[in-house]
Every structure is written in structure tokens, then in C-alpha cells.
Amino acid sequence: MDKIEIYGGTPLKGTVHISGAKNAALPLLASSILVNDSVMFTNIPDLVDIKSICMLLQDLGAKVKRFKNSATDSNAENSGVEVDASSLNKIEAEYDLVRKMRASILVLGPLVARFGHARVSLPGGCAIGARPVDMHLKGLEALGAAISIEHGYIEAKAGKLKGNEIYFDLPTVTGTENLMMAATLAEGTTTLRNCAREPEIVALADALKAMGADITGAGTAVIRINGVNELHQAEIKVIPDRIEAGTFMVAAAATKGDVVVQNCDPEHMGGIINKLRQSGVVVENFENAVRVKCPGTMRGTDIKTLPYPGFPTDMQAQFMVLMAIAEGNSVIHETIFENRFMHVNELQRMGADISISGGNYAMVRGGRILSGAPVMASDLRASASLVIAGLVAEGMTTINRVYHIDRGYEAIEKKFSELGAQIRRC
């Protein structure tokens, strides 16, 4: 099993190019099910989760082809995936394929919308807490689907879905995406209220509109979809990964480096940029890039994870490392998931002074000097936090179970090496 070894203490310097967003690419690929033709997706990252959903689409009968514009072209923006779902011949997403990735639930809405029937295994993914799919199912029921759950599978049956008004008890990203996709082919108008507002949802709505859907309001709390009879071919470019960008920004600050993060959208990262600046980090915004420098002492700042546009839960673990070495104390309040402090024990092994209160509060006493140690990754973003900790620690850090990181970060050790880090996979 692969490990990542890091010899810390080197300030990161240079330029890093951010890949396409995993959390945008997954629903986009699932949306291809709605089209009885081919759809081209560019700027697709090379990740385990992308491979998993492509395998799922192939198992459903779609033709999936990965491509580069030329054999010598290494620019990720010019690579992508073409999905031809005209040959889909199966409505069941099996356990062996779905268990690896929670985002597999995103095929449920498109399958029901196009075929009137879907059978999808209850999903797996990172062990960061309960992420129920009940709002997905209630929404599909409101659109006219009959839902049953037996033997670990969700089964949804409908003739033709019919538009309705759906209210989410809480903003849900995948729930909003699933029902928005389902409603594109429903009869009449669907209104989704209390929607999630993430950039990835706007990107999905834009892609569906390029395929012929009639959608307004994406990026706000209310989305309206007027159903159409069919969708058509399109070419879609995946937006940059704001969490990968944020991870490199925090790593640059933690190592007291000077890094230009290219192919990112500063408008998508306001919560991250704001907290970095509160900590004393210099962040310069450009049209498609940010520059991060840490010229002096960093200071602790409190964090509360919130739905977008608040501070993202997917950046909580990385920011905790920064707070462990900054001056002063800080409190991190995790409000999205109830089991997302599993990285704390590993950071404590490296010398961080962190205590947990009430299950969702972490008190971080800053000013610590971290030391390298063998550690174990527990989930995707915890893996990233341990990489950052290794980059600032004295001596050698060995990170085990790095298969988690390959789910969401493309060539992370290569990108850090190009910024001067002493890091290798072995």
C-alpha cells in the first residue's frame, strides 16, 4: 500500500495549476444519463472518484472515453471525458460500484427522469458522519416517484415525473443536484426551496442549460426548473477545484512561502481568503489566480464551518494545521458533519495542542512546533491536513492509507514537489 513521505521545513515557492473540481465533475458526469446522445466534458481531473463514476456509467451501458487533445498535451484543461449514454440498457447501480463513493447517489435522479425506474445501492464514501439521502427520496416522491428501500437498495418507480414544489429541511448539495437533474425532464415546473448555493450547483445548472434545460435561480435559495422533453449534446468545461486551491493556499501560508495558485476563481473562495487574511496572511486576488504570502507571524482566528458562502467544511482540517502553528488560541466549530475531527489524534502525535469539546468544537492552542511522525489518514480532507502538517514539521512524516487522498487530489505530491517540497510517494 502506498505511503507519502515528507521531510518538512521548506517554504513553498512558485506556481501551482489547480485541476478541475471533483465535486463539480461528479454530478456533471451523472447528468450525461439524461441525454440520449454524447456529451463532452473537459478539464476533468484524474482522480479515483472520477474513475469510479465512469465505471458506474459504463456498467449502466454508457460508452465512456477518456481523451487528451494530443498525445503530448499535459494540460489538464485539454483533457476530459466523452460520455455517450444513448446505449444505456440498465437502471441498476450495483453495490460493488456504489459503495466506493457517496456521489454515486447522483445517478438516481437522472435514471428515474429518463427511464421512469431506478434501483441504486445505498452509497458509501468517507467515514465523516451521517449524510442521509432522505431529502433526495422525499423530493423524488414529491415529483411522483414511488420509493422503496429493500436489501440495501433504493428503488424508485414513476411513469413520467411531474413538477412540484419541494422544500429542503436543510441545504443539501447532492440533494439539490439530484432533484434539479430529475426535474429537467419532468412535466411542468418544479420549484426547489432552501437550496444549497455552492458554485458546483451553479456549474451543473449552467451545463444542463447548455444541454437544453430551462433552469433559473441556481446559486440562490430558490431554483425553478421548467421541464423539457429531452436534452441534447453539449461540451462542458469543469470549473476549478476551490478546495484544492484552498489546500495549496493554506500550505503556502503554513510554510511561510510565496505561491501563485493558478486556474482558480477567487469569487468561489471568499470564506477561505477572509480567514487567511484574518490570520495575517497576505492574499492577492487576480482574475483567475491568487498569490499567497506569509511575511510575518500568523495569529489564531476562530472558524465556524457553514454552507456556502460560509467557510467550507472541506477546509476545516487543513486550517486546523495553520491554527496549530499560529500564535494564540482559536476555536473551530464544525457544524456540517458530526464526525469530522478524526485527524486531531494524528495532529496531536505531531505535537499539535488540540482538545475536543462536545464532539463538534476543537480548541487549538497555537504556537506549537510540529515534529514529523508516522500518521494515518482517515478521510480525504484529513489526508490533506496531514500533508500540510508534514510540510511544516521538523524531520520526516510518513502518511499511511493515502488512497484517501487520491479520491480528491490530482498528483498532489508532484504539485508540491514543483513548489520545492521534499515529498515522495513510496
Cell 495569529, residue located: 299
Tens-digit pLDDT profile for residues 157-200 = 998 999 999 999 999 999 999 999 999 999 999 999 999 999 99
Whole-number pLDDT of residue 140 = 97
Q: What is the pTM of this model?
A: 0.95
What superfamily in CATH does domain 22-237 come from?
Enolpyruvate transferase domain (3.65.10.10)
Q: Would you call 159 exposed, middle or buried from its count of C-beta atoms within 10 A (0-12, 13-18, 19+)?
A: exposed
Residue positions forming the annotated binding site: 22-23, 102, 314, 336
Residues composing the chain: 426
Active site residues per annotation: 126
On whether the CB atoms of residues 318 and 383 are closer than 8 A, the answer is no
Tens-digit pLDDT profile for residues 216-235 = 999 999 999 999 999 999 99
Instruction: Spell out the CATH class of 4-19+240-425.
Output: alpha beta
DSSP H/E element including 357: strand 353-357
Which position has the higher pLDDT, 358 or 63?
63
Tens-digit pLDDT profile for residues 255-278 = 999 999 999 999 999 999 999 999
* 216 CA to centre of own chain: 23
Beta bridge partners of residue 222, listed in sequence order = 193
Geometric angle at alpha carbon 129, from 125 and 133, rounded to 5° = 70
Which residue spans of the chain are classified as CATH 3.65.10.10?
Answer: 4-19+240-425, 22-237
Q: Which three cell numbers stand for residue 316?
A: 476545516
- Amino acid of residue 98: V
Residue positions forming the annotated binding site for phosphoenolpyruvate: 22-23
Q: How many CB atoms lie within 10 A of CB 286?
A: 12
Beta bridge partners of residue 283, listed in sequence order = 292
Which position has the higher pLDDT, 129 or 292?
292
